Amino acid sequence: DFDNALSNDCKPAFGRAADALEGLLTNGIVNWGSPVARALEDCQMLMRQAKFSDRTPLVSALLEGPPSSGKTALAAHIAKNAGFPFVKVLAPSDVVGYNEPAKVHHIKRVFDDAIRSPLSIIVLDDIERLIDYSPLGQRYSNTVLQGVMVLIKRPPPPGHRLFVLATSSRRELLHELDILNSFTAIIHVSNLSRSEQAVKALKEMNLFDDKQCQEFHQKTAGRKLWIGIKKLIASAEMARQAENDYEIPTKLIGLLEDDQALQLPNC
């Protein structure tokens, strides 16, 4: 279960990498429901395979799920707590403005560094952004894509081990790019889909007090909800800027409805 999954982690990553991981975990990992626990457990299992299997010195996992569902935070959480001596986050903002060869060069260097260390983790955040994907005209950097495809399949030298944790909001795109086969495993990260899950998240992060949670639940129970944890946090914070505290739950509900994240009451 969830507590177990967390307690199985051993020693945290260190130094600059740890700072980078921290920056991706501003609001922590809240256990708002079983999908969170399941994803965490799957990740732990792959982490052990990377650590212990001789026949597969290279293990690569894709964390995929809707925008704002918490993919990046989850990957950062695993990387932080796996206890691997080498941990590196490779995010699109690291290479913003780089041209294509420079991007590949940067990514290659990260992988080269990683396999030089005996036991390494690379978080490859937001693949579609790393490859500059845009749906209008189906544009992307094939140069970066090919580099990534080769590097996530390149085995480390004998005796070394590498665990790659990639994230993406576009599983369908990765399928069309024929890169899904390159991963050892694919793990799904879910949106919140029920009022109770939202209430649990709001309460655990101290966004709403008990009374506000109660009101929110009363008004949304049974209505279809579909929202990522990151978006829920942002909308709740926006609602909290209302002039009067009692307006906040209604405001949040209004924002969710406008976003079509919450089913309207009577329809």
Active-site amino acid positions? 71-72, 125-126, 153, 230
Region 65-94 residues binding a second copy, contact defined as CB under 8 A:
67-68, 92-93
| Half-sphere exposure for 153 (CA within 13 Å, toward CB) | 11
Region 67-106 residues binding Mg ion, contact defined as CB under 5 A:
72
| Nearest-angstrom CA–CA distance, 71 and 78 | 11
Regarding 58 and contact with ligand ATP (CB under 6 A), the answer is no
**SS3 call for 60:** strand
Q: Which residues contact 167 (CB under 8 A, 6 or more apart)?
A: 62, 63, 64, 71, 72, 75, 123, 124, 125, 126, 127
Regarding 158 and contact with a second copy (CB under 8 A), the answer is yes
Our CB check for ligand ATP shows the closer of 22 and 258 to be 22
In the chain, count H helices and then E strands.
12, 5
Our CB check for a second copy shows the closer of 184 and 193 to be 184
Regarding 169 and contact with ligand ATP (CB under 6 A), the answer is yes
Compose the 74-113 pattern: x for residues touching ligand ATP by CB under 6 A, - for all others: x---------------------------------------
Regarding 224 and contact with a second copy (CB under 8 A), the answer is no
Our CB check for Mg ion shows the closer of 76 and 198 to be 76
| Nearest-angstrom CA–CA distance, 53 and 68 | 33
Our CB check for a second copy shows the closer of 178 and 221 to be 178
Among 21, 36, 166, 202, the residue binding ligand ATP under the rule CB under 6 A is 36
φ, ψ of residue 243 in degrees (nearest 5)? -60, -40
| Nearest-angstrom CA–CA distance, 113 and 123 | 13
CA angle 242/247/248 to nearest 5° reads: 70
Regarding 156 and contact with ligand ATP (CB under 6 A), the answer is no
Write out the residues near ligand ATP by the rule CB under 6 A. Answer: 25-30, 32, 36, 67-74, 126, 169, 228-230, 233
Sites of contact with Mg ion (CB under 5 A): 72
